[in-house]
Chain A
Amino acid sequence: MTPAFPLGPWDVSLVLAVTAIILLTTSEILSPYYGPANLKISKKRLKNAAMATSILFLTTVAIRIATMIYGIS
């Protein structure tokens, strides 16, 4: 038996979705518009990371949709 990676792109997409939701929620909660928060992290970088993960997730979704429409396996 040859070793193979057991997860497909849809599983990776799920991990990305969960990570994106956590990061986006945290970023929104820590937004300075709701008052000062006592968490000493770079909020700008947190926001960038949340956006990057969300874009990655949406890319996997777009790939999935393209696969379904054009029937590429």
Chain B
Amino acid sequence: MRISFNFPRAIGLILLLLGAASLLAAIVYSSSVPALIGLGLVFWGIIVSYIQSDEYVKKTILNSTSMTLLTALDETLRTLDCKGKAIYLPPKYLNDPESTKVYVPKLETSTLPSPETTQQLEMQPTQKSPQGILITPAGAELARLLETELGTSLLRINLEDLLRRLPKTLIEDLEIVNDCEIQLFAKKRTEKSEENDQTNQSEIFVKFTTTVYRDTCKRAARLPTIFSNIGCPLSSALAIAFSKATGNPIMIKTQQISEDGETNGTEYTIIEEPVA
């Protein structure tokens, strides 16, 4: 039988025991010196036991595993000859609102399908000659993690709240970016713009610096089907978050990356459906 040894817990326990012994000695001998030492040891014992180390993996392992999946996704899209711009679908386009899917049309000129079409496509993914395919994007699980850190479902948060809370969550809680800048360019609805949905689009610009996803983003930039379309895992997770928070389809308009792969600037388009 293998006994697992938790080093910080053992140190914490030793400090607690020494502190308790010291406090006991202070009471027996009525001395303030062992009492102070004992109090210090007890406090630090509790703190060391409480502040456990997080579980970490090497960045090279993270990059190797995620790159294989991204390459597989790129090959799948090229094999299926999907040339259109990927659209991150909001819950109303899917059968299960908690699921996350991206619609990749076959043709570059294809437009956004109706919710009924995507729901049918989700139920019958192998139907003959579909106009596009539905796939789970690279940042699906990361978006779920984002949801956990935010402490609320992305379906129950509005865009303004999400944009306000995102930098703190990404920098402090998840520690995946070092710096994050988000700008929303909202387009006002006018009677004229409602006639043509192409002019009726808001945009979100996100610029972040990451050392965690530096190599993944740098290598993903060599996969054109993935990078400019579905995005690297982090920009993909953000697209999912925006699509769920707005309830509108999201498209990655442009994605630019610095030479070292650390700085990433992504422009998202919120596709607002015409008012019925």
Using CB atoms and an 8 Å cutoff, list the residues of chain A in contact with chain B.
1, 3-7, 11-12, 15-16, 19, 23, 31-33, 35-36, 40-46, 49, 53
A40 touches B35 (CB 8 A): no
Additional A-B contact list (5), CB under 8 Å, known A11-B36, A32-B172, A46-B51: A4-B30, A6-B31, A16-B43, A33-B172, A53-B43
Q: How far is B172's CA from A36's CA once the two chains are assembled, in angstroms?
A: 10
Kindly identify, within residues 158 to 209 of chain B, every residue whose CB is under 8 Å from any CB belonging to chain A. 171-173, 175, 178
Q: How far is B42's CA from A12's CA once the two chains are assembled, in angstroms?
A: 12
What are the nearest 10 A-B pairs in CB distance?
A: A6-B32, A7-B35, A15-B39, A45-B51, A3-B27, A40-B53, A42-B54, A6-B35, A41-B53, A46-B51
Set of chain A residues within 8 Å of B40, measured between Cβ atoms: 15, 19
* Any A CB within 8 A of the CB of B11: no
A7 touches B30 (CB 8 A): no
Contacts A32-B171, A32-B172; is A42 near B53 (CB within 8 Å)? yes
* Any A CB within 8 A of the CB of B26: yes
A49 touches B54 (CB 8 A): no
Set of chain A residues within 8 Å of B175, measured between Cβ atoms: 32, 36, 43
* Any A CB within 8 A of the CB of B47: yes
Give 27 A-B contacts (CB < 8 Å), ordered by A residue.
A3-B28, A4-B27, A4-B30, A5-B26, A5-B35, A6-B32, A11-B32, A11-B35, A11-B36, A11-B39, A12-B39, A15-B43, A19-B44, A23-B47, A32-B171, A33-B171, A33-B172, A35-B178, A36-B211, A40-B54, A41-B52, A41-B53, A41-B54, A44-B172, A44-B173, A45-B51, A49-B50
Q: How far is B49's CA from A46's CA once the two chains are assembled, in angstroms?
A: 11
Measured CB to CB, the closest approach of chain A to B132, in angstroms, equals: 39
Set of chain B residues within 8 Å of A41, measured between Cβ atoms: 51-54
Set of chain B residues within 8 Å of A40, measured between Cβ atoms: 53-54, 56
Chain B residue at minimal CB-CB distance from A7:
B35
Q: How far is B170's CA from A70's CA once the two chains are assembled, in angstroms?
A: 48
Set of chain A residues within 8 Å of B56, measured between Cβ atoms: 40
A49 touches B178 (CB 8 A): no
Measured CB to CB, the closest approach of chain B to A49, in angstroms, equals: 5
Chain B residue at minimal CB-CB distance from A44:
B173
B26 touches A6 (CB 8 A): yes
Q: How far is B43's CA from A11's CA once the two chains are assembled, in angstroms?
A: 14
A36 touches B52 (CB 8 A): no
Set of chain A residues within 8 Å of B44, measured between Cβ atoms: 19
